[in-house]
Amino acid sequence: MTPGLENAPTGPCFVGRGAQLARIGKAQAAALGHGRQMVCEVVGEPGIGKTRFVREALERCAPTVPWAVGTCAPDERGVPFHVFRHALTKGQPPRRGLRAGRPAPTWAEPAGAVPPASDARRFRTYQAARRLIGLAARDGLVLVLDDLHWADASSTGLIAHLLRYPVPAPLLLVLVYRPRQMATPMPFGPPESDENADPEPTSRDRIELRPLGLAEVALLHPHVDQAELRARYDLTGGNPGYLAALPAGPA
């Protein structure tokens, strides 16, 4: 399992992904500027740097907006709404980005926390959870749900509900997962725009992180000679996680 977003490495070693960072920034600005929900899906293969990318995006694009970060775990798949519990439960340490004097948003268990068989009762449960999230986001919130390929059915159901019935508040919802470990590569349906080329971002964007180029890998490893660098690049395909796993010294 990858480290949680709050433990993701930070510092000068982040390279590239400028266009993708800008898309997060546009979505965050739209959420705050128009007081509405915006969604960014961040997808890619293991080791590609999704969690590190999201951490960098929050540092650059939302340094003063409260964060709530939930990370899925394989052994919690049987716990309803476990990624939302992890993000919005009392007792979590304060997130960087919380405004001074403002309490962290908390998850209060909605009535009927385990969605029952009835579609109508399940809908009411999701609506209650949506209202809780809307209260937490009333002054602006970034809600990051990481490692959703390990999410429970209630959590994915609530996410789908939020996409169909957006929260009427300045919420940036960031969904992070590995498509090939999901039942379908697009579990929440196709995005409104793949490349988000328009000046005004759509309400849901899908950002796919691909391997780094050789020039970007060179920036990550400035003291490695060209022959060694090329060997490492060819071996890992430009995957940052695989590069970091290689031992130091000649390959």
- Number of domains forming the structure of the chain: 2
Same domain, 224 and 178: no
Q: Judge whether residue 11 has pLDDT over 50.
A: no
Q: What is the mean pLDDT of residues 26-32?
A: 93
Q: What is the pLDDT of residue 109?
A: 63
pLDDT in tens, 207-248: 999 998 888 888 877 878 888 888 888 888 888 888 888 776
For residue 67, give the nearest of 147, 157, 6, 158 by alpha carbon: 6
pLDDT in tens, 38-52: 999 999 999 999 999
Q: How far apart are CA 235 and CA 251, in angstroms?
A: 9
Q: What is the mean pLDDT of residues 176-204?
A: 78
Q: What is the mean pLDDT of residues 187-197?
A: 69
| Within a domain: 10 | no
Q: What is the pLDDT of residue 70?
A: 94
Q: How far apart are CA 173 and CA 155, in angstroms?
A: 13
| Within a domain: 137 | yes
pLDDT in tens, 143-179: 999 999 999 999 999 999 999 999 999 999 999 999 9
Q: How far apart are CA 42 and CA 17, in angstroms?
A: 12
Q: What is the pLDDT of residue 172?
A: 96
Q: What is the pLDDT of residue 232?
A: 84
Strands (E), 107-152: 141-146
For residue 208, give the nearest of 14, 53, 10, 6 by alpha carbon: 53
Q: What is the pLDDT of residue 105?
A: 56
Same domain, 81 and 93: yes
Q: Judge whether residue 99 has pLDDT over 50.
A: no
Same domain, 176 and 229: no
CATH of the domain at 84: 3.40.50.300
User: Crossing angle of helices 119-136/153-164, nearest 10°?
Assistant: 70
Same domain, 66 and 153: yes
Same domain, 156 and 251: no
Same domain, 141 and 219: no
| Within a domain: 5 | no
Sign of CA dihedral 177, 179, 183, 188: positive
Same domain, 168 and 80: yes
Same domain, 192 and 70: yes
Q: What angle do CA 98, 21, 138 make, to 5 degrees?
A: 35
Q: Do the beta carbons of residue 141 and residue 107 sit within 8 Å? A: no
| Within a domain: 22 | yes
- Minimum mean pLDDT among 3-7, 64-68, 99-103, 196-200: which range? 99-103
Same domain, 231 and 141: no
Same domain, 153 and 176: yes
| Within a domain: 114 | yes
Q: What is the pLDDT of residue 100?
A: 41
| Within a domain: 3 | no
Q: Judge whether residue 101 has pLDDT over 50.
A: no
CB atoms within 10 A of CB 220: 17
Residue environment code for 127-144, b if the CB has 16+ CB neighbours within 10 A, otherwise e = eebbebbbebbeebbbbb
Same domain, 195 and 245: no
Q: What is the mean pLDDT of residues 100-123?
A: 62
| Within a domain: 1 | no
Q: Judge whether residue 2 has pLDDT over 90.
A: no
Sign of CA dihedral 200, 168, 185, 151: positive
pLDDT in tens, 57-93: 998 887 888 889 999 999 988 888 999 999 987 555 4
* Mean pLDDT, the chain, integer: 82
| Within a domain: 110 | yes
Which domain covers residue 228, as residue numbers? 212-251
Same domain, 182 and 243: no
- Minimum mean pLDDT among 3-17, 116-130, 175-189, 224-238: which range? 3-17
